[in-house]
Amino acid sequence: MPFMIALVIDVIGLLVAISLVVPPVPQEHIEEVEATNFKQVLKEGYHLNYFSIALFSGIVSGMVLSVGQFRAPYQIFLEIPVILYGVFHGIGRVFASLMLAYSGKIKKYITLPSFYKLQFIIYTFLILILGVISTWWFVVFVFIVINAFQWGLTKIDEGYQLDIIKSSKFKATLLSAGSQIDKAIAAVSSFVIGVVIERVSYQYGFLYSGVVFFVILLPLYLYIAHRYKAGVYKNTAAI
């Protein structure tokens, strides 16, 4: 049955792909972008106070992603039927899609420090819960919520970053720097969590992750909140 459902979805996707057309686009003159070096990008990011935001965002997304990597193995360990994994994942993505649909409106009524405070509290709480409660249905619920927020808040986060660097000519490069922080954090934290899980247990792996998440991000959040009050991130003020 899962393969039949996937086949139906693939057929629909094939029909949509076949129906795509090339839109008429008038030719425009594009000014050539001057060659830059890494030092210029770093200087620009520092001048715009961007790297503290990129670091916070990268740590959050990287550590949450690393915890999510162990979702399926942990569910197998708890003897949850494999057939339900896609259902749980799909429920999380449905809620994520709803948040994405209203992300623009949400961003208008929440400030940058409030947004990062929300992420800090929610993810710390959810990861610590995984470390202290092993009831299967509660674990499933927590992973659904993490999945929803992980993908549902991405555009708000990206919007704040673009607000900060909107005057820069290195937007793509600066955003890619934030993405590299994300990948590096995910790689390191996934390895560490895996080692703890192998030597101790899943719960201790998640528990230690929640504690480290809290300890690292608390001073960084306080720094960002202080800088925001000082008017450093004035381009991100909510309406």
The model's pLDDT over 171-203, given as tens digits with 9 standing for 90+, comes to 777 888 778 888 899 999 999 999 999 999 999
What counts of helices (H) and strands (E) characterise the chain?
11, 0
Its CATH architecture, for the domain 55-236, is Up-down Bundle (1.20)
- pLDDT value for 195: 93
Band of residue 35 on the pLDDT scale cut at 50, 70, 90: low
Domain ranges of the chain: 55-236
Q: What's 29's DSSP letter?
A: -
Percent of the chain topping pLDDT 70: 93
Residue 24 φ then ψ, to 5°? -70, 120
- pLDDT value for 45: 76
Percent of the chain topping pLDDT 90: 36
Mean pLDDT rounded to a whole number for the chain: 86
Tokens standing for 216?
A: 């690292």
**Residue 239: pLDDT over 50:** no
Asked whether the beta carbons of 91 and 137 are under 8 A apart, the reply is no
**Residue 23: pLDDT over 90:** no
- pLDDT value for 134: 86
Over the stretch 144-165, which tens digit does the pLDDT of each residue have?
999 999 888 888 888 888 888 8
